[in-house]
Structure 1
Amino acid sequence: MDSLTHIVLGAAIGEVALGKKIGNKALLYGALLGTIPDLDVFITPFLNPVSSLFFHRGITHSLLFLVLLVPIAGWILSKIEKKHSIELKTWILFSFFPLLSHIFIDCFNTYGTGIFEPFSNIRIAYDTMAIIDFIFLAPIAIAVIWVMFYQKQDRIRRVITWIGLGLSTAYFLFTIVNKINVESKIEKQLEDSNIKYKRLLTTPAPLSNFLWLIVAENDNGYNIGYYYPIRNKNVRFNFQARNSGLLNSLLGDKDILNLLRFTKGFYTVEKDISGNLWLYDLRYCSLDFEDEKAYVFSFQIKKTHNGIEISRSHPNRRINIKTISKFFEKVF
């Protein structure tokens, strides 16, 4: 998820755990703990473009990192707040849940989470929620801001926080059910339309769970389209060739193989007028869904005297007033 979601979710968990004893400090500490795993973004600029893809949401999002960090964070907080009569084990538990929430919820995005690193490079990605989902974020964010203005002993703080967490949790569960329903409908449409496929990817577009990117892979490429659950109309598919043959001479390069592994095989390749190759990850959907070339992740592959050089664009989900307006027109 985006950093703001992790911050407010961690803050809400902190409030439930220790808000009654330490007030708004519980919000602060929970927010800080909730965002720690994403501090890996300060290291990725020093890595090559392909390595940075795997470092983000890698070891800092692993169960090993969680086990190692929780007691350290708990001990540090116990020293900072030693004036309060709070046991070390309570601080350790306090540290555990915001960190766990970060790792857990990231598993439901397309990017995936390396929870088993360094023992396995498998990434868990259930594709049920967009990285930025305002409907999930809003109840918790409102609750966290609201409770800041009440005294720590006021029971209404816990009530408001639990309501916010409850609403977001209900929506989270809805996204799982919604994905199952979306996949069922798409599979039926593909069967009825006699569209053959080997793999099917369904993943929500940014902002909510009411617009889905559909990618049906066959031997030569992909049928790609968008599904609107509220409108419940058949998907209009456009075919995108994989063009994997353009990479044949480069398959001995480790970075190319890792790049293909990152895309999980959902990619297309193009050659520009300069002879450079462009590889696009098809698993991500920008909000400018009417532009077939609005790729979120783009990788330029240049041949050099020393081999190849890979550069990547900054993820661009094209979230702006114009695309948000079109989003609401299409969805509702």
Structure 2
Amino acid sequence: MAKAPLRIHCPVASRHPTPPMDSLTQAALGAAVAHACWHRTLGRPALLWGVALGTLPDLDILVFPWLDPVGRLVWHRGVSHSLWAMVLGALALAPLIRWVHRRAPPPPTFREAFTGAWLIYSSHVLIDVFTVYGTQLLAPFSRHGFGLNNLFIIDPLYTLPLVLGILLAAVLRTPRARYLVNVCGLALSTAYVAWSFVAQARAATIFAAELARKGHAVAPGRAITSATPLNTVLWRHLAEVEGGFLIGYWSWLDADTRVRFDYVPRAAERLPPAVRESRAFATVAWFSQDYWAVLDGPGEDGLPVADLRFSEMRTGTGTPPDEWTWPFAWSFPAAAPAGTEIPLIQIPADFSSRGAGFDDVWRRIQGDRTAW
């Protein structure tokens, strides 16, 4: 199958929270959708409503202080991002929007207010579904995380047309000009999403062909082709094989369709039974959709378990896999008596070298296979 298993670990550093940078995208999309829906009845104030409603679903984090780490992992992108929340949220917001603008000439009808609020809310959820994180559309009846993996959580080429469109809509004088520039921004961002699906499909075909050519037997339905940071040119493939996973990359700018796959052993046997049976580990297995692996890490930090769906950071040319940084990893005890309460402890990822890492990503996007 593969050469000797690669030894990898998750570097540990002081806690460095990842900022919610995708909030800019959510706010811009919300403003663009709101202006497209309400430009006649609300005018420029529609942009402000869009910013507010476009970020509303992510306010589920406000209850984090009352939840333990397991509860937070389950709660985020859960009920607040469900199909039912879209409808109920719009029903609750429509009367408020009508009341605030009751003196507008003319005020929005209930149908107009509801439709706009629903489209803003649902567009937020939709672009979350485009990412690899997982969005619980059917919560609380099902906790399955839906993800199409065609966009990275931050992609400037998707966000910039939206931002430019709403900024011009805010400053241009004539209503028609404001409407047209905003719709153009929406159209460009939507076209970029369409391109991402085409690019993803092509990359998935190449990965599947390379795996078959090399004789790797992939578990049925256990493969993910996902966008890499900030672009839709370089694609990442994660495939489950016997005993572990294969990770490979292909760029549209590569000279050919050859793909080098790195093998990451699952190493499930390293986890004590008490850990495997714990609520904390069950939550990690659920969240990662079973794409997890036990990593080689410093002994004092226990056994790191990483969610392999998220792109690792490989800092420096030719960096060995035991120095990769994983965005989502948790520490579990290497030994635990039966019945032990196992806590969920997230390992803060060390992105201190992310500048060099993104330089390597840029080189790999351009087809330089020596970068990764």
Given that residues 246 and 261 in structure 2 are in contact (C-alpha distance below 8 angstroms), is that contact kept between their aligned partners in structure 1? yes
Q: Which has the higher mean CA deviation after the structures are superposed, 278-287 or 178-187?
A: 278-287
> Which residue number corresponds to residue 325 of structure 1?
359
Is 1:298 equivalent to 2:294 in the alignment?
A: no
Equivalent residues in 2 for 1:1-332, closer than 5 Å: 2-84=22-104, 85-86=106-107, 87-151=109-173, 153-198=174-219, 199-231=222-254, 232-249=256-273, 250-270=275-295, 272-274=298-300, 276-286=302-312, 288=314, 292=321, 293-302=324-333, 306-313=340-347, 321-332=355-366
Deviation, 1:159, is: 1.0
Q: Which has the higher mean CA deviation after the structures are superposed, 187-196 or 300-309?
A: 300-309
Q: State the AA in 2 paired with 1:252.
A: E
| Structure with greater contact order relative to length (CA < 8 Å, sep ≥ 6) | 2
| Structure-1-length-normalised TM-score | 0.92
Deviation, 1:314, is: 5.0
Given that residues 266 and 294 in structure 2 are in contact (C-alpha distance below 8 angstroms), is that contact kept between their aligned partners in structure 1? yes
Deviation, 1:131, is: 1.0
Provide the C-alpha distance between the structure 2 equivalents of 1:255 and 1:132, rounded to a whole number of angstroms: 29
CA deviations 1:144-181 (Å, max 9, x no partner) are 11221123x43111111111111111110111121111
Aligned residues: 331
Given that residues 315 and 353 in structure 2 are in contact (C-alpha distance below 8 angstroms), is that contact kept between their aligned partners in structure 1? no
Q: State the AA in 2 paired with 1:237.
A: F
| Structure-2-length-normalised TM-score | 0.83
Provide the C-alpha distance between the structure 1 equivalents of 2:82 and 2:34, rounded to a whole number of angstroms: 21
Provide runs of 4+ in structure 1 moved above 4 Å: 286-291, 303-306, 314-321
Distance verdict in 2 for CA 1:9–1:80, change over 3 Å? same
Gaps of 5+ in 2: 1-20, 367-372
Deviation, 1:256, is: 1.1
Distance verdict in 2 for CA 1:289–1:92, change over 3 Å? farther
Match of 1:21, SS state, is coil
CA deviations 1:82-125 (Å, max 9, x no partner) are 11122222211121110010112211211111111111112211
Given that residues 132 and 207 in structure 1 are in contact (C-alpha distance below 8 angstroms), is that contact kept between their aligned partners in structure 2? yes
Gaps of 5+ in 1: none
% identical aligned pairs: 26
